[in-house]
Amino acid sequence: MKTLSERQKLILALVIRDYIDTAQPVGSQHLVEHYNLDVSSATVRNELVALTNMGYLRQPHTSAGRVPTEDGYRYFVRQLMGHTELPDTTKHTIAHQFYQAGHDVDRWMRLAASVLAHQSQAAALVTAPRAEQARFKHLELIATHGRQVLMVLVLSGGEVRQQMLVLAEPVSQDRLSAAANHLNTAFQGMDLNSISAYTGQLDALEQDIIKLAIEDMQHPGDILGGEVYRDGISQVLAEPEFAEVDVARKALRILEERSLLEDLLSRTVLTTSVGGVQVLIGGEGTWEELRDCSMVLARYGAPGIVTGTVGVLGPIRMAYGRSISTVRFVAGLLSDLVVDMHAE
Amino acid sequence: MKTLSERQKLILALVIRDYIDTAQPVGSQHLVEHYNLDVSSATVRNELVALTNMGYLRQPHTSAGRVPTEDGYRYFVRQLMGHTELPDTTKHTIAHQFYQAGHDVDRWMRLAASVLAHQSQAAALVTAPRAEQARFKHLELIATHGRQVLMVLVLSGGEVRQQMLVLAEPVSQDRLSAAANHLNTAFQGMDLNSISAYTGQLDALEQDIIKLAIEDMQHPGDILGGEVYRDGISQVLAEPEFAEVDVARKALRILEERSLLEDLLSRTVLTTSVGGVQVLIGGEGTWEELRDCSMVLARYGAPGIVTGTVGVLGPIRMAYGRSISTVRFVAGLLSDLVVDMHAE
DNA sequence: TTTAGCACTCTCATATCGAGAGTGCTAATT
DNA sequence: AATTAGCACTCTCGATATGAGAGTGCTAAA
């Protein structure tokens, strides 16, 4: 793969930027007129031919302007776009909204989705923070009715799981409280493995309970936290590439079906370190459902302790600069908030 | 408004059923051929003219078949459709799935949305059960970091609220546990008003905490429970009426925007008794966003204690029979489950 | 009251056409 | 060697026309 001349880089960037704005194929004449290049349209045409041969541009039909290919977008994002940041005033406004939301994780998530959707003009996706390698913090047992007991399990990071258990026989609230107290003092702050090692010294009731608690802490295979927050879906469908319903439906399935989302996230952003922003352009040959879409994803939280995912989804012709800077900023903000809450 | 002859009722029902199936305007000839009416197409045409004049049918253009009007659908749903039930085997299969899900409310909700979406072929909507007139059951305070305290509040019905508080000064876990114990024994099982009456006898810390707990119990204005579950959205967009993206977008906004949904539910199904199924056809002149859609809604739960909402959204040309029977069945099932869990 | 017959209307798919946009190539220019 | 003017060529897109087909409403007869 030959490297591009400076002029080729310039022209490629102009074509892509223009196309992202207008959704119209970009012609040689249009370029020289609007971006006062001091070369003729014929010269530009020659460069366009070169860029087309290199696979960065293509023509929808013989006599239309050029449109970026997926490779073109990838080159643009990696080499041409440079680093963009949201304006400071915007950042402050957003941060202020978060701090006003107090310590309500649910509100943070909704706010994050809303901010992502509005700033990036794409569909937003946020998963709740989830403790990896959860440590036991507190357990509460509440008798509700007969043999039914509500177990509330608090993990490090303030994550709360609740589960209804049905015991073999009715047990009094006093007995439950005693069991909870015992388990709380015994396992305070311990992680999964440590707890598993000590279960021998418990009575039958306590063993049953701690077994369920451990299962809950492992959250097997469930990568998404409990809830997935979405926003801006109806808004992003206004993009012309979703005029064809089938395209829109495929995109929606990604956001709607947990299994798809789980597969997608587990094989992309979960393999990345916190702080890095990952850009998926047009399915990358792996995800059929993403064929007509791009996603910008990032993890937030404290690596190895609690993490979640934020991201946006839009057409391949997406304003990557805005999206990436927004996703990066929101992920950073959430990281601060979550880490702060998690500190102990 | 004149009453319809039996033959008119039959023809109206046939037109609507056929149109719901095929999404094609129904002509007089088509009717006599496919439903072996023993009259001629000319006679049917005369009846169609009558039904059109009464406002139950209309023609997309001069020489097309008839299509139901919104009034036509309403008449059909109220007078012609009769009472339909899901087949027993289907009911059993579904109920079995719910019982297999144990006592996990989150799984119930997801399952309910999935069942609604698949059975009714429309987009499903389920709100988590929410305690009306909540009673205090249990409170837990967990010191996390400095002045930050996690409050876990368990209400009657097993509903759990969590909130992070920031105290004026650091307080030890022991002190917090003592306060929680005190409040738990003092207010066990009491409702909002009773608690408010007794706050005088508490110390400053306890007063602060119980004030926040009361605020939480009131959940001001928030009609939707915490989470709204949706399913079948991408599926319902396959209906031909959503081929126009703008129609699809408007429908999606209803499901996406909490404020819209809240307004909609508060003014419809929340004014109905549990058990009743409400059908909104084409916005009913009130909701612009629903102009091209219909919804079938029902409340579930224990009236006055815990309730939630289930429903489906589809094009006006919706299989009302299937939708209504599915919504009724799922609402009933969830009522049983929630009431069962709530019993104490 | 029902029905056969028929003219009428409107949609929809198809074909034709010209304008316009943008190209690629060639040959001349710098 | 790189750039540019010139130009023929290709393809899309919107406008216009055309005809088949579907379904109607009306009239008059049964």
Q: A78-88: per-residue pLDDT in tens?
A: 999 999 999 99
DSSP class of residue B187 equals H
Question: Are B164 and B208 members of one domain?
Answer: yes
Q: Is the model's pLDDT at B221 over the cut of 60?
A: no
The SS3 assignment for A31 reads: helix
Q: Across the interface, do A160 and B160 touch by the CB < 8 Å criterion? A: yes
The SS3 assignment for B343 reads: coil
CA angle B281, B283, B287 (to 5 degrees): 160
Q: Within chain B, where are the H helices?
A: 6-22, 28-34, 41-53, 70-75, 88-100, 105-120, 173-187, 192-197, 204-218, 233-236, 245-256, 258-266, 320-342
Contact list, A144 vs chain B (CB under 8 Å): 158, 341, 344
In this predicted structure, what is the pLDDT of residue B175? 85
* B170 CB neighbour count, 10 Å cutoff: 12
Has residue B29 been placed in a domain? yes
Q: Is the model's pLDDT at B112 over the cut of 90?
A: yes
DSSP class of residue B43 equals H
* B235 CB neighbour count, 10 Å cutoff: 18
Question: Are B18 and B38 members of one domain?
Answer: yes
Domains in chain B: how many in total?
Answer: 3
The SS3 assignment for A321 reads: helix
Cα separation values, A127 from A100, A309, A312, B340, Å: 21, 5, 12, 31
Are the C-beta atoms of residues A289 and A283 closer than 8 Å to each other? Answer: yes
Question: Are B248 and B321 members of one domain?
Answer: yes
Question: Are A228 and A305 members of one domain?
Answer: yes
Mutation target for A interface from B105, B219, B231, B249: give the one with most A CBs within 10 A: B249
- Bigger pLDDT: A46 or B179? A46
In this predicted structure, what is the pLDDT of residue B147? 75
Minimum CA–C1' distance nucleotide for B41: C3
Identify the domain boundary among B156, B191, B218. Answer: B218
By percentage, how much of chain B surpasses pLDDT 90?
53
In this predicted structure, what is the pLDDT of residue B1? 57
Highest mean pLDDT: which range of A52-56, B62-66, B135-139: A52-56
Q: Across the interface, do B160 and A152 touch by the CB < 8 Å criterion? A: yes
In this predicted structure, what is the pLDDT of residue A125? 96
Q: How far apart are CA B176 and CA B140, in angstroms?
A: 9
List the A45 CA – C16 C1' distance (angstroms).
33
Contact list, B344 vs chain A (CB under 8 Å): 144-145
Interface of B with A (CB under 8 A): 102-106, 137-138, 140, 142, 144-145, 148, 150, 152, 154, 158, 160, 162-166, 226-227, 230-231, 233-235, 237-238, 242-243, 245, 248-250, 252-253, 256, 341, 343-344
Q: Is the model's pLDDT at B287 over the cut of 60?
A: yes
Question: Are B123 and B229 members of one domain?
Answer: yes
Count Cβ neighbours within 10 Å for each residue of A177-193 and write b for 16 or more, e otherwise.
bebbebbbebbeeeeee
Among B121-130, B193-202, B234-243, B311-320, which is the least confidently predicted range? B193-202
User: Which class for A34: exposed (0-12), middle (13-18), buried (19 or more C-beta within 10 A)?
Assistant: exposed
Highest mean pLDDT: which range of A93-102, B89-98, B220-229: B89-98
Q: How far apart are CA B23 and CA B237, in angstroms?
A: 14
Q: Across the interface, do A160 and B162 touch by the CB < 8 Å criterion? A: yes
- Residue A246, both tokens: 């089938």
Question: Are A236 and A325 members of one domain?
Answer: yes
CATH number at residue B67: 1.10.10.10
Domain span at residue B272 reads 88-131+223-342
Residue B299's DSSP bridge partners are B309
The answer to whether the beta carbon of residue B29 comes closer than 7 angstroms to any atom of strand D is yes
Question: Are A15 and A65 members of one domain?
Answer: yes
- The set of strand C positions with any atom below 7 Å of a protein CB reads 2-5, 8-11, 20-26
In this predicted structure, what is the pLDDT of residue B145? 66
Q: Nearest C-alpha of chain B: how many angstroms from A338?
A: 12
Minimum CA–C1' distance nucleotide for A49: C24
- Residue A324, both tokens: 């990436």
Has residue B1 been placed in a domain? no
The answer to whether the beta carbon of residue B62 comes closer than 7 angstroms to any atom of strand D is yes
List the B33 CA – C5 C1' distance (angstroms).
19
Q: How many helices (H) and strands (E) does chain B have?
A: 13, 11
| Amino acid of residue A23 | A
Q: If you search the block for the tokens 């094609």, which residue do you land on? A: B24
- Residue A276, both tokens: 């890095």
Q: How far apart are CA A276 and CA A331, in angstroms?
A: 9
Minimum CA–C1' distance nucleotide for B30: D23
Count Cβ neighbours within 10 Å for each residue of A207-217 and write b for 16 or more, e otherwise.
eebbeebbebb
Q: Across the interface, do B163 and A104 touch by the CB < 8 Å criterion? A: yes
Q: A211-226: per-residue pLDDT in tens?
A: 877 777 766 445 566 7
CATH number at residue A160: 3.30.390
Q: Across the interface, do B343 and A145 touch by the CB < 8 Å criterion? A: yes
> How high is the mean pLDDT of chain B?
88
Identify the domain boundary among B63, B80, B97. Answer: B80
Task: Name B118's Cβ contacts closer than 8 Å, sequence gap at least 6.
Answer: B232
Confidence band for B143, pLDDT divided at 50, 70 and 90:
confident
- Bigger pLDDT: A154 or B233? B233
List the B81 CA – C4 C1' distance (angstroms).
34
Identify the domain boundary among A157, A191, A218. Answer: A218
Q: Across the interface, do B250 and A256 touch by the CB < 8 Å criterion? A: no
Question: Are A231 and A118 members of one domain?
Answer: yes
Has residue B150 been placed in a domain? yes
User: Which class for A106: exposed (0-12), middle (13-18), buried (19 or more C-beta within 10 A)?
Assistant: middle
Contact list, A172 vs chain B (CB under 8 Å): none
In this predicted structure, what is the pLDDT of residue A15? 97
CATH number at residue A228: 3.30.450.40
CA angle B305, B309, B312 (to 5 degrees): 165
Strand B148-155 versus strand B160-166 pairing type? antiparallel
User: Which class for A66: exposed (0-12), middle (13-18), buried (19 or more C-beta within 10 A)?
Assistant: buried
Mean pLDDT of B231-236: 96
Q: At what angle do helices A320-342 and A88-100 cross, to 10 degrees?
A: 40
CA angle A295, A107, B199 (to 5 degrees): 165
List the A3 CA – C24 C1' distance (angstroms).
24
In this predicted structure, what is the pLDDT of residue A158? 63
Has residue A1 been placed in a domain? no
Q: Across the interface, do A233 and B227 touch by the CB < 8 Å criterion? A: no
Q: A182-192: per-residue pLDDT in tens?
A: 888 888 778 77
Minimum CA–C1' distance nucleotide for B61: C10
| Amino acid of residue A202 | L
Q: Across the interface, do A103 and B163 touch by the CB < 8 Å criterion? A: yes
Question: Are A66 and A99 members of one domain?
Answer: no
Has residue A243 been placed in a domain? yes
Q: How far apart are CA B154 and CA B140, in angstroms?
A: 8
Question: Are B263 and B245 members of one domain?
Answer: yes
Q: B256-283: per-residue pLDDT in tens?
A: 999 999 899 988 877 777 778 999 999 8
C-alpha closest to that of B316 among B333, B336, B300, B295: B295
Q: Across the interface, do B102 and A164 touch by the CB < 8 Å criterion? A: yes
Has residue A13 been placed in a domain? yes
Distance of CA A51 to the CA centre of its chain: 33
Q: Nearest C-alpha of chain A: how many angstroms from B269?
A: 24
Has residue B275 been placed in a domain? yes
Question: Are A184 and A316 members of one domain?
Answer: no
Question: Are B71 and B93 members of one domain?
Answer: no
Minimum CA–C1' distance nucleotide for B65: D23
In this predicted structure, what is the pLDDT of residue A237? 95
In this predicted structure, what is the pLDDT of residue B335? 93
What is the mean pLDDT of each successive set of 10 residues along chain A, which is 344 residues long? 87 97 95 92 95 95 92 96 95 95 86 98 93 77 75 73 77 83 83 76 80 71 72 96 92 93 86 83 88 95 86 97 97 91 64
Has residue B192 been placed in a domain? yes
In this predicted structure, what is the pLDDT of residue B77? 96
Mutation target for A interface from B99, B140, B184, B255: give the one with most A CBs within 10 A: B140
The answer to whether the beta carbon of residue B61 comes closer than 7 angstroms to any atom of strand D is no
Sign of CA dihedral A189, A194, A195, A199: negative
List the B201 CA – C28 C1' distance (angstroms).
102
Q: Across the interface, do A253 and B243 touch by the CB < 8 Å criterion? A: no
